[in-house]
A and B are shown apart, each in its own frame.
Chain A
Amino acid sequence: MESILQAGVSGILMGGIYSLIAIGLSLIFGVMRIINFAHGEFLMVGMYLSYWLITLLGIDPYVAALIVTPVLFLIGYAFQHGPLNTMLVREKTREPLSILLYTAGLSLVLQNVALIWFGADARAVSTSYTGTTFDLGPMIISIPRFYAFGISIVCTGFVFWVLTKTEIGRAIRATSQDRNTAKLMGINEKKIYCIAFGLGSALVGISGALLVPFYYIFPTVGSVFGLRSFIIVVLGGVGSIKGAFYGGILIGLVEAIATQFISPAYAEIIVFMMFVAVLLFKPTGLFGLEKS
């Protein structure tokens, strides 16, 4: 029983990070209707960036997160402003399929550039938080994971607040509901795209920075978390922020609990089965939430 409790708590903590990554992906999809296949690679960029900040400047990993997040926002913004908007204009009369392929191609480019520049070896930073724990009753809680979870919750709340309470957020939601009507209402859709892509990238950037104190950095690290975030987005309902949040926690929990009863390899199969079942029977997502 104790071990189920321990696994459950650890699973929820890890789920918080999954959520944050998935929310970024869901936001981008909700607004632009494109799946960013390079989402995982943006995570990788965020991780390497905070790795270099921590090792070269010797700063605290959470201070590094404060730098990585706006940098990733700018990268995402510029990426949408340049190539993606150009392609959107070119393909405005049909589904922007080439953008989908473009992000897939970009993910391969980023992976291989990282492979050449940084090598295939895993890198790790031993920060003052690495390996630290505290006891919660019979349970052991990893401090960097606990912080990552807490910051994830705060970020999710922040994104939710921006979307529901601010002018920009209302414009983002309007664009995601109906881009043509939004345009008629005087919303600059291209700018909204840039902000949404920037915000999605900033979220994945902060996730990367939060992972660094307890995970390893390698060129293909994006695929470890990228695939999960696709599944979570589908489970939670594509484009839904709340759905992505609950979906992430759920995946973390399912992985951890299933491991206690059957093997970890089967835990992954269960996750994929949930994915397939939701697509088939409940395409609006497991939680039936309205798109936010």
Chain B
Amino acid sequence: MKKMAILAALLAATLSVATPVAAQSKDVKIGVLLPLTGSSAEAGKLSKNGIELAINTINAQGGIKSLGGAKLLPIYADSAGKPETGVMEIERLIVKDKVNALLGPYNSAVAAPTAEVAEKYTLPYMLTNAVADGILQKGYKYVWRSNQSASGDAIDMIAFLADIGKKTGKPVKSIALVYESTDWGSSTAEALKKIAQEAGIAVVAAMDYPANTADMTSIVVKLKSVNADVVIPMSYLNDALLFTRTAAEMKLNSAILAASGGFSLPAFVEKAGKSADHVMTLASWKPDILATKPDSSKKLNEDYKAKYGSDFSDYSANAWMSAMVMFDAIERAGSVKPEAIKAALDATDIKGNHVALSLHPYDAISFKQEIRGMKSQNIHARQVIVQVQNGKFRMVWPFATAPKDVQLVWPIPAWSDRK
């Protein structure tokens, strides 16, 4: 008798759980894998903000119309920035939560193994922020990337250096590289070496160093002795701050053009203070880009600011765009079947005033063409260059789209000429 009662209670409990799930089955479930804890938690949080805002925007406008106004339902998972945790969590999203599409994961090191999982389960996976070329060189059918790739970063940086000469008549003849000995650092450095040589710019030093170092004085001393026109550092925030401060102390007169990383974070200008003056960095997004954008884009940034307390940043803007590209494909697919979403993503042909282009300095998004061995990479992705002027990141390149009131300071004044 007692057993029967327990059984009945269990059955009732199961039913009461099952019913609301069934009622919500119209929702489109979006699995979002990000480093919400661990050392890249800050970037993970920014990425999450971007995705959350994109989902709220779509839901507020009536959801996915081709699916009868189905709402987007995010399901977040934490990779902690670790490949093995990422693999476990993405499996959980796919198998247990039965998500319809995947977004994430910021870290390139997490992207590589999780892309393998998405491919195995044939579930559409839009990379956000993870830049390594290698991920898309595997030729996966279910993995896409809207933002720039690592080799694209190198191409954009060298293009900028070549443009400097054309514009100012004071060309860059030599560069020196300082990179942390990680996947990201060494792959970007390799790409830079190759592309710089093709552009006729000499690479006079290339130094790898262990990330999170105690002292960068000896590195800066070496850089002073090679005296390159431009030094290109690749570091995350702690090292970026240490490098910049040490370069100022030791009066390193080479210009600094960082390959994004820690140098592009708002915390960099805040904490490096005066030593960051005239430092240039590659960036995916900065508020100055809005100068050439319609009012709706400015409104979007205001919405972001109202909700999260700051402007969009590189990571939140990339995440927002990647999510919008995915949602656009689901809308066009009119189905949550993986093959249907895949076909729609492959056919992506976003141009002009499309909402997904609200923030970025691209004129299109499309995955049709292979580029540098990468399948499903947006070939129109471009980065911008910003320079720290009076404690703010100001967009200086491409010269044509940079705000009119901003001028690239070039050549960089020697330390002896600064006040």
A residues near B (Cβ < 8 Å) are 2-3, 6-7, 10-11, 14, 18, 119-124, 126, 130-131, 133, 140, 142, 214-216, 218, 220, 223-225, 228, 252, 255-257, 259-260, 263-265, 267-268
Q: Once bound together, how far apart are the Cα atoms of A133 and B245, in whole Å?
A: 12
Contact A260 B222 (CB under 8 A): yes
In the complex where A121-B42, A140-B251, A263-B209 touch, is A14 in contact with B245 (Cβ < 8 A)?
Answer: no
From A130, which residue of chain B is reached at the shortest CB distance?
A: B245
Which 10 A-B pairs rank lowest in CB-CB distance, beginning with the nearest?
Answer: A264-B209, A256-B218, A259-B218, A3-B225, A10-B217, A265-B208, A7-B221, A7-B218, A122-B238, A14-B215
Contact B209 A260 (CB under 8 A): no
In the complex where A131-B249, A140-B251, A256-B218 touch, is A264 in contact with B207 (Cβ < 8 A)?
Answer: yes
Chain A residues contacting B238 (CB-CB under 8 Å) are 122, 216, 218
Q: Once bound together, how far apart are the Cα atoms of A121 and B249, in whole Å?
A: 23
Contact B219 A120 (CB under 8 A): no
Tell me the count of chain B residues lying within 8 A, CB to CB, of chain A.
Answer: 36
CB proximity of A145 to chain B, nearest CB, Å: 8
Contact A7 B39 (CB under 8 A): no
Chain B residues contacting A130 (CB-CB under 8 Å) are 245
CB proximity of B419 to chain A, nearest CB, Å: 14
Contact B245 A140 (CB under 8 A): no
Q: Which of the listed residues B225, B241, B251 has the most CB atoms from chain A within 10 Å of its own CB?
A: B225
Contacting A122 at CB < 8 Å: which of B214, B222, B241? B241
CB proximity of B309 to chain A, nearest CB, Å: 15
In the complex where A3-B225, A224-B214 touch, is A264 in contact with B219 (Cβ < 8 A)?
Answer: yes
Contacting B222 at CB < 8 Å: which of A3, A120, A124? A3
Q: Once bound together, how far apart are the Cα atoms of A11 and B41, in whole Å?
A: 33
In the complex where A264-B207, A264-B209, A265-B208 touch, is A216 in contact with B241 (Cβ < 8 A)?
Answer: yes
CB proximity of A132 to chain B, nearest CB, Å: 8
Contact B225 A256 (CB under 8 A): no
Q: Is the interface of A mostly helix, strand, loop or mixed?
A: helix
Q: Once bound together, how far apart are the Cα atoms of A289 and B210, in whole Å?
A: 31
Per-residue contact bits, chain B 243-260, to A (CB 8 Å; 1 contact, 0 not): 001001111000000000
Q: Once bound together, how far apart are the Cα atoms of A263 and B251, in whole Å?
A: 21
CB proximity of B39 to chain A, nearest CB, Å: 5
Contacting B275 at CB < 8 Å: which of A121, A131, A216? A131
Contact A3 B249 (CB under 8 A): no
CB proximity of B378 to chain A, nearest CB, Å: 30
In the complex where A6-B221, A124-B271, A216-B242 touch, is A142 in contact with B249 (Cβ < 8 A)?
Answer: yes
In the complex, 22 of the A-B residue pairs with CB atoms within 8 angstroms, ordered by the A residue number, are A7-B221, A10-B218, A120-B38, A121-B42, A121-B237, A122-B238, A122-B267, A140-B250, A142-B249, A214-B245, A215-B242, A216-B241, A216-B242, A216-B271, A224-B214, A256-B221, A257-B218, A259-B218, A263-B209, A264-B209, A264-B210, A267-B218
Contact B245 A268 (CB under 8 A): no
Q: Once bound together, how far apart are the Cα atoms of A62 and B103, in whole Å?
A: 49
B residues near A (Cβ < 8 Å) are 38-42, 181, 206-210, 212-215, 217-219, 221-222, 224-225, 237-238, 241-242, 245, 248-251, 267, 271, 273-275
Contact B221 A10 (CB under 8 A): yes
Contacting A3 at CB < 8 Å: which of B42, B207, B221? B221
CB proximity of A236 to chain B, nearest CB, Å: 18
CB proximity of B188 to chain A, nearest CB, Å: 15
Contact B213 A224 (CB under 8 A): yes
Contact A120 B42 (CB under 8 A): yes
Q: Once bound together, how far apart are the Cα atoms of A225 and B213, in whole Å?
A: 9
Chain B residues contacting A3 (CB-CB under 8 Å) are 221-222, 224-225
CB proximity of A148 to chain B, nearest CB, Å: 11
CB proximity of A272 to chain B, nearest CB, Å: 11
Contact B217 A131 (CB under 8 A): no
Q: Once bound together, how far apart are the Cα atoms of A124 and B245, in whole Å?
A: 11
CB proximity of A223 to chain B, nearest CB, Å: 8
Contacting B214 at CB < 8 Å: which of A7, A121, A228? A228
Q: Once bound together, how far apart are the Cα atoms of A140 and B218, in whole Å?
A: 12
Q: Once bound together, how far apart are the Cα atoms of A86 and B204, in whole Å?
A: 59
Contact B181 A265 (CB under 8 A): yes
From A259, which residue of chain B is reached at the shortest CB distance?
A: B218
Contact A126 B273 (CB under 8 A): yes
CB proximity of A266 to chain B, nearest CB, Å: 9
- 6 further interface pairs, Cβ-Cβ under 8 Å (given A216-B241, A218-B238, A265-B181): A7-B221, A124-B241, A131-B248, A223-B212, A264-B219, A268-B210
Contact B218 A255 (CB under 8 A): yes
Chain B residues contacting A11 (CB-CB under 8 Å) are 217-218
CB proximity of A274 to chain B, nearest CB, Å: 16
From A132, which residue of chain B is reached at the shortest CB distance?
A: B249
Chain B residues contacting A124 (CB-CB under 8 Å) are 241, 271
From B37, which residue of chain A is reached at the shortest CB distance?
A: A115
CB proximity of A196 to chain B, nearest CB, Å: 26
Chain A residues contacting B225 (CB-CB under 8 Å) are 2-3, 260
Contact A120 B249 (CB under 8 A): no
Contact B218 A122 (CB under 8 A): no
CB proximity of B29 to chain A, nearest CB, Å: 29
CB proximity of A198 to chain B, nearest CB, Å: 25
Q: Once bound together, how far apart are the Cα atoms of A125 and B249, in whole Å?
A: 16
Chain B residues contacting A142 (CB-CB under 8 Å) are 217, 249
Contact B210 A265 (CB under 8 A): yes
Q: Once bound together, how far apart are the Cα atoms of A122 and B271, in whole Å?
A: 9
Chain B residues contacting A265 (CB-CB under 8 Å) are 181, 207-210
Q: Once bound together, how far apart are the Cα atoms of A250 and B305, in whole Å?
A: 51
Q: Once bound together, how far apart are the Cα atoms of A195 and B242, in whole Å?
A: 35
Contact B39 A220 (CB under 8 A): yes
CB proximity of B277 to chain A, nearest CB, Å: 12
Contact B250 A122 (CB under 8 A): no
Q: Once bound together, how far apart are the Cα atoms of A7 and B246, in whole Å?
A: 13
Chain B residues contacting A122 (CB-CB under 8 Å) are 237-238, 241, 267, 271
From A267, which residue of chain B is reached at the shortest CB distance?
A: B218
Contact A260 B218 (CB under 8 A): yes
Contact B237 A220 (CB under 8 A): no
